[in-house]
Amino acid sequence: MTRTRMLLSAACAALLATGAQADENANMVIDGTEMKIRADAPAHMENVDEIMSGWVFRSVETQALQLDDFDNPAFVFVDQAIDLWDKVDGSEGKACSSCHEDVEDFAGLRTKLPRVDDGQLVSMENLVNECRTERMGAEPWKWSGGQMTAMTALIGLQSRGMPVDVAIDGDAAPFWEKGKELYYTRVGQLDMSCSNCHEDNYGVMIRADHLSQGQINGFPTYRLKNAKLNSTHGRFKGCMKNIRAEPFKEGGDEFKALELYLASRGSGLAVETPSVRN
C-alpha cells in the first residue's frame, strides 16, 4: 500500500466515522450481499483495495434520504414511470404492459448491463428504446430525458440489493478493454483521466465535495443540485466538462464502453437504484 493510499484510507475511515448513520450502514448486508463496501477489489483495479459505493462518501443527511423510500425524492419519478408503463404510445397502440406482464420480471437485469447482444454493446436505454421503436412504433426517448431516466429507475429498482455482475469476457472483452483505456486516458485542458480523481484521490475533498470512486451502482441518481434523475452518461458528460474536455455523446460507443468498464469496477456492489447524491 502506497503512502498516499494509506492517507486516503485514513480519510475514508474518518469519513465513515462522521456519523452513527454511516457507521451502522456502511457494511449493511442485504440477502447476503455486502451493500456498500466490498473488501476484495477486482484484480484489474491495481491501486484500490476496497470498492465503495458513492453513498459512503455522502453526508449523513444525503445518505439518510437514499435509505428511506418515502423521503427519497427519486421515487416521485419512479411513480411517473409506473404511469408510463401502462401508457399506450405509438402506431401499434401498445403500452409496455401490453407485452411485459410485470415490471418485477426485470429483477436482475440491472446487474448484467451493459451487455453484448448480437455483437453490439447495449445499455438499458437501448433495450427500452428498441421496444419503443421496433415494437410499439413510438418515438425513442431521449437518452437522459425525464421519461427514460424515470423508466430506467423503475426497472433498475427491481434489482436493488443484487450484486453488480457484468460479463467482461468473450464478446464483451474488446468493449471492456476500450472502456478501460478511456478510463485511464488523460483528456481536456486539465489533462486528467477518470482515474486521476476516482482511483488516485477518492476520499479527498475537491471543491467542498468528497471524491468518490465514481461507481455507477446507484444510477440513475437523483441529484439535489438539479432536482431530477441523472443518467450514467449524463454524469460522465458532467465530469468531462469539469476537466474542460469535449464530452463524448450520450448513448455513443465511448460512453457505453466506459459504462461497462465502470460497472465491472463495481462488481459485487449491490444495486442501489435510485440513489441520492448532492
Q: Which residues bind ligand HEC (CB under 6 A)?
A: 54, 57, 94, 96, 98-100, 106, 109, 127-128, 131-132, 135-136, 151, 155, 192, 194, 196-198, 206, 209, 211-212, 214-216, 218, 221, 235-236, 239-240, 242-243, 258, 277
Minimum separation from the CB atom of position 159 to ligand HEC (A) = 11
Q: Determine the residue with CB nearest ligand HEC.
A: 54
Q: Is the preceding omega at residue 140 within 30 degrees of 0, hence cis?
A: no
Give me the least distance between CB of 139 and ligand HEC, in Å please.
11
Residues serving a catalytic function are 239
DSSP characters over the chain: --HHHHHHHHHHHHHHTT-HHHHHHTT-EETTEE-SEESS--TT-TT-SSEE-GGGGS-HHHHHHHH-TTT-TTHHHHHHHHHHHT--BTTTTB-HHHH-S-GGGGTTTGGG-SEEETTEEE-HHHHHHHIIIIIS--PPPPTTSHHHHHHHHHHHHTTTTSBP----SGGGHHHHHHHHHHHH--BTTTTB-HHHHHTTSTTSEETTEE------TT-SEEETTTTEEE-HHHHHHHHHHHTT--PPPTTSHHHHHHHHHHHHHTTTSBP-PSEEE-
Distance CA 120, CA 257 (A): 11
CB of 135 to ligand HEC, least distance (A): 4
Closer by beta carbon to ligand HEC, 35 or else 240: 240
CB of 42 to ligand HEC, least distance (A): 16
Closest approach of Cβ 83 to ligand HEC, in Å?
Answer: 12
> What cell numbers appear for 206 in the block?
475537491
Alpha-carbon distance 209 to 50, whole Å? 20
